[in-house]
Amino acid sequence: METTFKYQNKIITTPNLEKKLKRMKISIDDIEIINTPIKKKSQDSGIEDYMLDKEEVVILSKLDKIRRICFVPKGTRPSIKELLGKQNLYSENELMNMYYDILC
């Protein structure tokens, strides 16, 4: 069970209060135990914050049958070279033969 406490106007939550106090070199008299722990922001959607403004796109190539899944800012379609060229995984010819799947 986690314990939440206040120390120098900071709220701290720890699974092992004794160990935390020992590491901080303070005693239980120096802190104020908070009975109702402050809950962290829930992730109802299961999507990390940095992914909320992204959408999945599929990039295909005329040279192979590989589906490349990428995430781009919503409503945008950056050039393939801009999106994949920075990784140095594909030759110039490979990049020129890639296109967005129109079903996305």
Specify if 40 maps to a domain.
Answer: no
Go through the chain and tell me how many residues it has. Answer: 104
Residues 67 and 96 in one domain: yes
Domain range for 58 is 49-100
Number of domains in the chain: 2
Q: Which residues contact 10 (CB under 8 A, 6 or more apart)?
A: none
Residue 68: burial class (beta carbons within 10 Å; 0-12, 13-18, 19+): middle
Specify if 44 maps to a domain.
Answer: no
Q: What is the pLDDT of residue 1?
A: 76
Specify if 80 maps to a domain.
Answer: yes
Q: What is the pTM of this model?
A: 0.52
What are the 10-residue block averages of pLDDT along the chain, 104 residues in total? 88 90 93 73 64 89 92 91 88 93 74
Residues 55 and 87 in one domain: yes
Residues 23 and 55 in one domain: no
Residues 96 and 56 in one domain: yes
d(CA 90, CA 87): 8
